[in-house]
Structure formats: C-alpha cells, structure tokens
A and B are shown apart, each in its own frame.
Chain A
Amino acid sequence: MANTMGRSFLQAAATSEEVAPPLRVVQIEGLAVLKIIKHCNEFLPSLVTGQLLGLDVGSVLEVTNCFPFPIREEDEEIEADGANYQLEMMRCLREVNVDNNTVGWYQSTLMGSFQTVELIETFMNYQENIRRCVCIVYDPSRSAQGVLALKALKLTDSFMDLYRNNNFTGEKLREKNLSWVDIFEEIPIKVSNSALASAFMTELEPELPVKQCDYDRLKLSTAPYMERNLEFLIDCMEDLSAEQNKFQYYYRNLSRQQAQQQTWLQKRRVENMARKAAGEEPLPEEDPANPIFKPILEPSRVDSYLITNQISNYCNQINGVATQSFNRLYLMKALHED
C-alpha cells in the first residue's frame, strides 16, 4: 500500500505497522469549494454528489480538486457508465497534472438531513479502498442564510468496527461507550488558495464595505427556513418514536419469553422431582427444540442513532437561526428608539 506520510523509506520499512496520526483538519482549495457550490446550486432541489481529489498528508487531508457525478438514473446499464465516467475523468485529469488521488466524496443535502444508512454504506465502501476518506456535505438552503454551510464528516473508527461486525446490540454499545454522538466526527475545514488565485481575486474584487452575505444575514424574514426546519424536526420525532416503539415491543417480547422460559423450567423441575421420586432419569433442563427458547433478535440501533443525530442537527440549526433573529430584532428595536 502506498505510504503517503512522507517518512523516509527506511523508516517505513522498519515499522511493521503504521499508526496514522488522527485526522485533524481538512484543507480545501478555493477552487474545490467553488466547484462544489456551483454544482450543488445548479441542481437544486435534487441532491447531487461528486468525487473529491487530493492528498493525504499527515494529519491534514488536502482536497485540491473535485468533479461532479452525473445524475444516475435507476437503470441497470447506467451503472457501468458511471464507473466508466469516473475512470475517464480520473485519467483525463491525470494528464493535466491534477492530483489523481480520491480522498472522498461530496454531496449536497436538504436542511441538514444527510444522516442516512446510505451514507454509512458509502463510507464503508470507500474505507475499504482508501485509508482515509472524508465526506463533505454542503447545505445550499442554509447557505442562503448567510453562512457557508460546508461540513467535513468522517465515521469514527469505533463505530466502523462495530458496524463491520454487525454487532449492534445494547451490550456491545455500552461496552464501547458509544452513543449517537460518536457515529460521525466533524472535522474542521480550512480553506486555502494558491497565491496566484488570491492575487487575482484581490486585484479584481476591491475591498468592499458590504457584502451580499450581510444582506442575507440581516434579512428579517426567516420564517420559511424555520418552518421547514421545524417540519423536518417533527417528521424525525415521529420516526424516533416509531423506533422507540420497536424497542419497547422487543423488550416486551423478550421479557415475555423469559417468563415463559421460567415457567417451563419450573415445570421441568417439578417433573424431574417427580421422576426422581419415581426413580427415572431426569429430563434435561433445557430443550432447544422448544420454540420459546428461540432467541429473539435485537433490532439494530443504527437507525435510531441516525435519527437522533438528525434531530440534534435540526435543533442546532434552529438554535442558530433563532439567535440570529434575536440579534436582528434587537437591532430593529434600537433603530426604532431613535
């Protein structure tokens, strides 16, 4: 496997196992940011994805370029096309000296509702081939509020191990002390630009007293955004309560089954006593053929974790927007007092 950490060959050969330094920062180039924004905005309201290219250097993951994926239709033959497209793009970009290294993918999201099982699946897929990959999520609706809503996500290692073994029982989770916050890890993003690009930008765009983002931030009507956020939140709550119900059902079944087992065991014991008194062989205390001994599967907690994540995301967003509104309203009040 390629050693991307820049140590000397001797060192690399000496160490039998490399311990990668934890990923601390994702450094994106302005070019990649602009491309992501452009692609996501063009295809609103449908959600789009694309591939990230860059370099993995120590504790920094550099994203230097990206290219979008075409919108995939639900057709079988398009699958091969998709792979071809990817190969073609990588090859072409290689020819113009763009870093040919996949470091992850980006996707657009609607109101921050990106925590789905598909995301985890994609992560697992990528993780098999690439040692370190990251997913960048861009939220166009939130960016309309005046904030650059770009997030870099990564699955935590502990979660990945659990998921791989499909071992999602309460026991295991308690063992690892894994709660729903530990599924995704958000990594801070740094934006970097080449000197040439920044020279151009400073030259062409004079320092302005006011920017469009200010317009957005000072807009007083946030109602539509909040409304949608709340709608999504309510939906999620319903989902969460459905999950809770599932768990309750499972527990009820489990306890019922245990009660049944107990009664059966009691009966057996009594029978055995009777037999002993009668001088016969005692029957075994267990009977695997009996249906009441069939173990009931515990439902996976992944879904509920994801939903919880989503809910907390919405709550955070609502909080953020509400605080902004407070600021604005007090500003208005001050204005009025003149």
Chain B
Amino acid sequence: MSTQSSKVGSVGENSIGCSGSGESKGKGTLPGFVSSEPRQTTLNSTYKKDLQVDVKRRVGHFIYSAALPFNVMNDPYWLPMAWAWASAEQSVKSHAVPSMIRDRLGHTVRNGPTGFGSYLVRSTHRSSCVSALLLQEKLTLAEVCAAAVPLSLSALRSHLMAVLQFFPPSSPVVSAKLHAVVLFNICDCYVRRPDQADRVIGTLLGSVSDGVIEIKNSYAVPHNESADQVALDVDYHRNMYLSHLKVNPKEVLVGWFSTGFGVSGGSALIHEFYVKELKEAQSSIPPIHLTVDTGFKNGEASIKGYVSSNLSLGDRPLAAQFQEIPLDLRMIEAERVGCTNLDLSSLNILHLFFSNAISTVLEHGTMRIDFEAADSCPLYVDILKTTVVDKLPNDLEGMEASMERLHSLLDEIYKYVGDVVEGRVAPDNDIGRFLADTLASVPRMSPAAFDKVFNDKIQDNLALVYLSSLVKTQLGIAEKLNTAAQIL
C-alpha cells in the first residue's frame, strides 16, 4: 500500500464517468451541475484545511491500527453512525476514510477498477454506501463516479442529487432578510425588460451582520442570454455600483438576483462572476443568489435565496451546488413589516394600549387560550397591495380605521373567550396566559386619580387646539392688514 499523495491532481484529467478515456471536462451527463470555471478553492479547503487534515490522520490511524477492512463501510450500521457524526458536528465532517484511501481511488481510476476501487465498485450496489462515502469523505462527484463505473449513471445521479441536499451549509451565512423595496424594484425591472429577454438579472446591495445578510437595494443589469453562454454588462454593473456607493457607502455588494424559477446552468456562471467581484472587494461573505418567480409557477409566489458552495475534485472544481437559505421578507421600520401570524398581534396592541392606561376589572378569571407569537405588522401594505389607491389616508381617516380594527379584534377575542368557557373550542394555555398578562398590565388607578389624569390631558389638548386656532386667526388678520395698508 503505497501512498500516492501527489497523484490526486491527475484524476482531473480524466472525464467523469469513465476512467482512462480522454474526454474533455465539462461534457458528460451532469450538465446542470457543472460550472465551467476552473480552479476555485472551496470554502472548506480554505478555512478548515488544518482541521480536516488532522481528523483524517487520526481516523486513518485508528483504522490501520485496528486492522479494519475498508469495506467495513458496507456494514448496515455504518451509515447511521456516519449520519449521527455528521449532524452532530457540522463544521468538521467525520472523515472516516483517510486521505490515503482517496489517493488509492485515484490510482484505481487511472489504472482501472482493481484493488480497492473494485471493492468499492462491487460493493456499492447499495446506494447507502455511496452516500456513506460522500458523507464521510466529502468526495466529489467525479471521484465517486470514477469509482462506481458499473453503476448506471442516472441512478447514481438521482441518488447523488438526493445526497447532495443533505450537506449542511458550509458557509458562514445562515439566513437573509429581504426588504420590500428590492422586491418592488425587481418586479418593476421585470415589467420593463426588453422584449427578447426572458428574465432579468441584477445586483443586490446590502449589509451583513452575524451571518445574516440584509438585502436593502438592487438594480438591474443588462445581459444577454443564449443557449450556451451568458454575457453580463460588467461596466454597467460597476458604474451603477459606484453611483450607489456615492449615496450610501454602507450598502455593499451582497449578491445578485434573477427572475424565474429555479437555478439554471447560466446562473452558475453568473454566480461565479459575482463571487469574483466579492473577492475583489475582499469581502468574506459568499454572494447570495435570489430568485424571484415572476411566472408564479406552482400557482404561488416563490422567492428563494441561495448560497453556493463548490464541489471540487482536488483543485479542480466541478460543480457549484446551490443551497437554499431561509429568507425573511421584512420591511424597514417605516414600513414595519414582519411575518405575522394570527392574533397575537391583536393582543400586542391591546397590551400596548392597556399598559399606558387605566385599570380594568377582570371578571373572567384565568383563561387558558393559546395564540402564537407575532411580530410587528406592515404599515403601508394596504397601500402597496392594491393597484390603485385613490387617496392617502389622512389623520382622522386613519384613526377611524385603526379604531374599527381594534373594535373587531376585541370582538373576536371576546367571542373566543366565550367559546372556550362554554367548551366549544379547545383551550390553549399560552394564549390564556398572554391574555391574562395583557389585562394585568393595565395599571391600577383609583377612579378619582384616573379622572384627574384624564381631565388634565383633555385640558392640555384643548389648550393646544385653542392656541393653534388663535394663531391661524392672527395670521389671517395680519395678512389683511399688511396688504390692505395703503400708502398715501
């Protein structure tokens, strides 16, 4: 067993799917996952190389010293163990296969399926082993394909697709927040796109904090897309970026968007470009790719964010895998949106209301109801939802609307409580507690004290109204006097 540490690189010269044949890279049966950009370092290789090497060495030592045969992986309990390992420690994969094995594989690939390779080949009829291998060793598509020649590639691919989904994200990005402006901008760009273009592509700007990318702004970039190549107007992108930076230097490049459903081959290329741009800007975050489905496929609006990680064989990258990350659609404070659910929002408002105010006497006793947690709600969503709003609501109209809503909320809660008390609806503890809290948060004040406070406030307000009307009258008079004055 000789260690052939330096031969790994030569595997790349061979094609996927076949050992020893001289096909050029990039062609094969997995076009959707292949990016044609050469030589990108993976995130894992850059950041966790030392860790990985260490782990590999130790595990290899263990297997050698215990004289375990390498096809121990065929064991039905190997896979569950590997799973548990992988999920317990997401940053460091459990490398049960030492690097020496990978070198061996490389040797195998070049020299035909003999030795260990043949082991693998014969024993990988069960897809579980392939997955085990991938999981443990993070071997690339190419290596596994190379080793598993007799397996039908379609079966392999379908299985690999399933396997690939399970990789935990290897990048520091955890989630993204999308501002509504961006969504509107993208819709607008899509509506205004040139006739021959199928989709719109553009840049996303924003900021990053604690692994959460906040997307605040965007602009479209003209591009050309044909069957086999994608051209992006780089100068335009750079110019707009500089212009935007002049206004707000804190909004930096965070990624790009495209309309349309799903991720396509062209997208991978464009993504590479943005990765390079970010690298130039010396940013440590990977770019995020946002897809906005304007075609409403599946009958629903889907906005998805992806982060890509590269799968590589040694130094040569082979595929860019796009992993979806959780996306939170929120609006900035002025618009004040979140994802809200059900009625805790209503309880929140009561809470706010009561806590500023006066006491009330609760006669219902403790209730047991359950509502869900809510965040703040959109301010202008009703304006933004409809196609035309004839008039922006002014003070009084808005007040009226709010009060009506409050009224309906109170009705609903009352009804709910009545239902629970009579047993028509199953009680829910959390809601009950929250209701009790809310009602208890009303400050207790004696009627006399409350009257005093109330009257004071009313008087203050009246005084203000009086003053302002006085001022206005004064202005009217002054106006008349000024212009009516006749000079002799």
Q: How far is the CA of A143 from the CA of B483 in the complex (A)?
A: 36
Q: Which residues of B contact A202 (CB under 8 A)?
A: 385
Q: Which residues of B contact A92 (CB under 8 A)?
A: 219, 236, 239-240, 243
In chain B, what residue has the closest Cβ to A237?
B471
The yes or no answer to A194 lying at the interface (CB within 8 A) is yes
Q: How far is the CA of A319 from the CA of B467 in the complex (A)?
A: 10
Q: Are B379 and A212 in contact (CB under 8 A)?
A: yes
Chain A residues 177-230 with CB under 8 Å of chain B are: 179-180, 188-206, 208-221, 226, 230
Q: Are A201 and B381 in contact (CB under 8 A)?
A: yes
Q: How far is the CA of A197 from the CA of B384 in the complex (A)?
A: 8
Q: Are B184 and A211 in contact (CB under 8 A)?
A: no
Choose among B187, B189, B467 the residue that contacts A200 (Cβ–Cβ < 8 A): B187
Interface string of A22-58 (1 = CB under 8 A from B): 0000000111011101110110000000000000000
The yes or no answer to A20 lying at the interface (CB within 8 A) is no
Q: Are A209 and B189 in contact (CB under 8 A)?
A: no
Q: Which residues of B contact A188 (CB under 8 A)?
A: 391
Choose among A89, A148, A220, A254 the residue that contacts B357 (Cβ–Cβ < 8 A): A220
Q: Are A34 and B384 in contact (CB under 8 A)?
A: yes
The smallest C-beta distance from B341 to any residue of chain A, in angstroms, reads 8
Q: Are B403 and A327 in contact (CB under 8 A)?
A: yes
The yes or no answer to A335 lying at the interface (CB within 8 A) is yes
Choose among A198, A210, A315, A319 the residue that contacts B385 (Cβ–Cβ < 8 A): A198
Q: Are B388 and A191 in contact (CB under 8 A)?
A: yes
The yes or no answer to A135 lying at the interface (CB within 8 A) is no
Q: Which residues of A contact B391 (CB under 8 A)?
A: 188-190
Choose among A42, A197, A316, A322 the residue that contacts B188 (Cβ–Cβ < 8 A): A197
Q: How far is the CA of A330 from the CA of B168 in the complex (A)?
A: 56
Q: How far is the CA of A329 from the CA of B459 in the complex (A)?
A: 11
Q: Are A332 and B240 in contact (CB under 8 A)?
A: no
Q: Are B386 and A193 in contact (CB under 8 A)?
A: yes
The smallest C-beta distance from A284 to any residue of chain B, in angstroms, reads 23
Interface string of B73-84 (1 = CB under 8 A from A): 000000000000
Q: Are A217 and B399 in contact (CB under 8 A)?
A: yes
Q: Which residues of B contact A251 (CB under 8 A)?
A: 485, 487
- The stretch that binds A, out of B3-11, B102-110, B131-139, B346-354, is B346-354
- The stretch that binds A, out of B60-68, B308-316, B332-340, is B332-340
The yes or no answer to B183 lying at the interface (CB within 8 A) is yes
The yes or no answer to A122 lying at the interface (CB within 8 A) is no
Interface string of B456-488 (1 = CB under 8 A from A): 011001101101110110010011001111011
The yes or no answer to B409 lying at the interface (CB within 8 A) is yes
Number of chain A residues close to chain B: CB under 8 A: 106
Chain A residues 64-111 with CB under 8 Å of chain B are: 64-65, 68-71, 81, 85, 88-89, 92, 95-98
Chain A residues 231-263 with CB under 8 Å of chain B are: 233, 237, 240, 244, 247, 251, 254-255, 258
Given A209-B343, A215-B352, A200 contacting B301 (CB threshold 8 A): yes
Given A96-B222, A190-B390, A192-B388, A205 contacting B337 (CB threshold 8 A): yes
Given A195-B387, A213-B398, A220-B357, A322 contacting B454 (CB threshold 8 A): no
The yes or no answer to B194 lying at the interface (CB within 8 A) is yes
Q: Which residues of B contact A85 (CB under 8 A)?
A: 243, 246
The yes or no answer to B281 lying at the interface (CB within 8 A) is no
The yes or no answer to A311 lying at the interface (CB within 8 A) is yes
Q: Are B479 and A179 in contact (CB under 8 A)?
A: yes
The yes or no answer to A312 lying at the interface (CB within 8 A) is yes
Given A30-B384, A336-B450, A170 contacting B236 (CB threshold 8 A): no
Q: Which residues of A contact B458 (CB under 8 A)?
A: 326, 329
A-B pairs with beta carbons under 8 Å apart, 20 shown: A29-B188, A31-B185, A34-B180, A38-B332, A92-B236, A170-B483, A192-B387, A196-B190, A197-B187, A208-B345, A211-B381, A221-B356, A233-B468, A311-B471, A311-B475, A315-B469, A322-B462, A324-B396, A327-B403, A332-B358
Given A197-B183, A220-B356, 5 additional A-B pairs, CB 8 A: A70-B247, A192-B389, A210-B349, A322-B464, A324-B396
Instruction: Report which B residues bind A (CB closer than 8 A).
Output: 179-181, 183-185, 187-194, 216-217, 219-222, 233, 236, 239-240, 243, 246-248, 294, 296, 300-301, 303, 329, 332-337, 340, 343, 345-346, 348-349, 352-354, 356-361, 376-396, 398-399, 402-403, 405-406, 408-409, 412, 447, 450, 454, 457-458, 461-462, 464-465, 467-469, 471-472, 475, 478-479, 482-485, 487-488
